């Protein structure tokens, strides 16, 4: 019994925590359970304190404040469980800007894409006051490419062009009821073990096994990428209702591959196409590639990777988060002149 208690104690410090959800009546939406701290240890080392509306503590109070603000939308890059709250993009932005010209609030969830933000954005527009702009962070272009497999999330399709939320999953009864208890009693190791065992098909005699291979998302042959992106940018701009901008994070530059550092040289056609569509549509576009590359060339450090993960891979570390905050501050101050 003492050994089991010791294991739970160690896991409570060194293991990732569960992230149960709850129904938020004001938002009419499922959000992260409030009044919890999410531990993240498998990549980086962060504690994320969750408050009202499923927002990070501190920014939840800012949501009710009348001060002008922007909302940053993104996937796990914006959620940034891998770093402490003080190192997340909008926390850094608010600290170095002093609220001039705006404050920032972030909404990020792992696995989400632009189609998800399209449906979720109106819910937060009901409760977050004085939003002056929306910013969408793109980790590459997968989440703005039509017909990409998005699992249980909303989809962007092109036949016809549009967004579909019929595939968006909601938390199960077990997740809503049992999840908070698993979290409160630090039983995540047992839960993760059980979930892992369920995914395995154990065989105790020689036999032939069928292996299911993941199918990469592909662009429909009927889809014109330029037309699809023009539609997406126009629809997101209309849904935003306030000035909209995209921040592009290159998925692989700089990166560490096969013992060598890869740095993107020259323009990328897809980036230039998306940039031109944004410009023609009156939508902002920030490409982080030059800033990331210059940072590596000057310091030898990557914007991704942690002490417990491969360098140049995975999620944004504190330096990557800070560089985006600085780029956003420059952008907003230029726009306010």
Please write the tens of the pLDDT for every residue from 275-287: 999 999 999 999 9
- The pLDDT of residue 220 is 46
Average per-residue pLDDT for the chain: 85
- The pLDDT of residue 176 is 66
CA proximity to 134, closest of 150, 118, 145: 118
Cβ atoms 135, 247 nearer than 8 A: yes
> Would you say the C-alpha torsion 47, 80, 219, 284 has a positive or negative sign?
positive
Domain count, the chain: 1
Q: How many CB atoms lie within 10 A of CB 46?
A: 22
Largest CA distance in the chain: 73
CA-angle at 199, arms to 215 and 204, nearest 5°: 115
Cβ atoms 264, 253 nearer than 8 A: yes
Q: Which domain holds residue 228?
A: 35-168+217-336
Assess if residue 190 is contained within a domain: no
Q: Would you place residue 188 in the very low, low, confident or very high pLDDT band (cuts 50, 70, 90)?
A: low
Residue 200 has pLDDT above 80, yes or no: no
Q: What is the mean pLDDT of residues 195-205?
A: 42
Residue 272 belongs to domain with CATH number: 3.40.50.1110
Helix (H) or strand (E) holding 171: none
Assess if residue 140 is contained within a domain: yes
Residue 80 has pLDDT above 70, yes or no: yes
Assess if residue 10 is contained within a domain: no
Q: What is the mean pLDDT of residues 310-329?
A: 96
Distance CA 324, CA 74 (A): 13
Assess if residue 57 is contained within a domain: yes
Q: How many CB atoms lie within 10 A of CB 61?
A: 11
Percent of the chain with pLDDT over 70: 79
Task: Evaluate if pTM is beyond 0.95.
Answer: no
For tokens 């926390």, the residue is 91
Q: What is the mean pLDDT of residues 300-322?
A: 95
Residue 217 has pLDDT above 90, yes or no: no
Q: What is the mean pLDDT of residues 104-114?
A: 94
- The pLDDT of residue 196 is 46
């Amino acid at each position: 019994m003492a050994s089991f208690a010791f294991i739970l104690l160690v896991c409570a410090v060194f293991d990732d925590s569960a992230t149960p959800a709850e129904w938020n009546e004001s938002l009419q939406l499922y959000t992260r359970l409030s009044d919890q701290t999410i531990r993240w240890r498998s990549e980086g080392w962060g504690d994320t304190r969750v408050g009202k509306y499923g927002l990070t503590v501190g920014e939840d109070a800012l949501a009710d404040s009348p001060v002008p603000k922007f909302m940053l939308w993104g996937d796990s890059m914006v959620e940034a469980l891998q770093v402490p709250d003080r190192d997340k993009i909008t926390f850094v932005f608010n600290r170095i800007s002093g609220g001039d010209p705006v404050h920032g609030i972030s909404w990020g969830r792992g696995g989400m894409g632009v189609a998800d933000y399209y449906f979720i954005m109106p819910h937060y527009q009901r409760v977050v006051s004085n939003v002056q702009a929306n910013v969408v962070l793109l980790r590459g272009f997968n989440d703005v490419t039509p017909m990409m497999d998005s699992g249980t999330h909303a989809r962007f399709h092109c036949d016809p062009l549009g967004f579909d939320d019929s595939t968006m999953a909601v938390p199960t009864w077990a997740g809503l009821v049992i999840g908070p208890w698993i979290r409160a009693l630090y039983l995540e190791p047992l839960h993760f073990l059980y979930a892992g065992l369920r995914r395995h098909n154990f065989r105790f005699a020689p036999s032939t096994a069928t292996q299911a291979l993941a199918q990469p998302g592909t662009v429909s042959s009927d889809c014109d990428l330029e037309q699809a992106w023009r539609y997406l940018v126009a629809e997101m701009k209309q849904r935003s209702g306030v000035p909209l901008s995209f921040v592009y994070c290159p998925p692989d530059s700089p990166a560490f591959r096969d013992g060598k550092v890869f740095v993107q040289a020259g323009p990328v056609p897809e980036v230039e196409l998306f940039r031109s569509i944004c410009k023609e549509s009156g939508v902002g576009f920030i490409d982080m590639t030059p800033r990331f590359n210059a940072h590596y060339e000057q310091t030898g450090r990557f914007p991704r990777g942690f002490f417990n993960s491969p360098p140049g891979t995975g999620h944004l570390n504190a330096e990557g988060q800070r560089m985006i905050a600085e780029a956003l501050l420059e952008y907003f101050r230029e726009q306010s002149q």
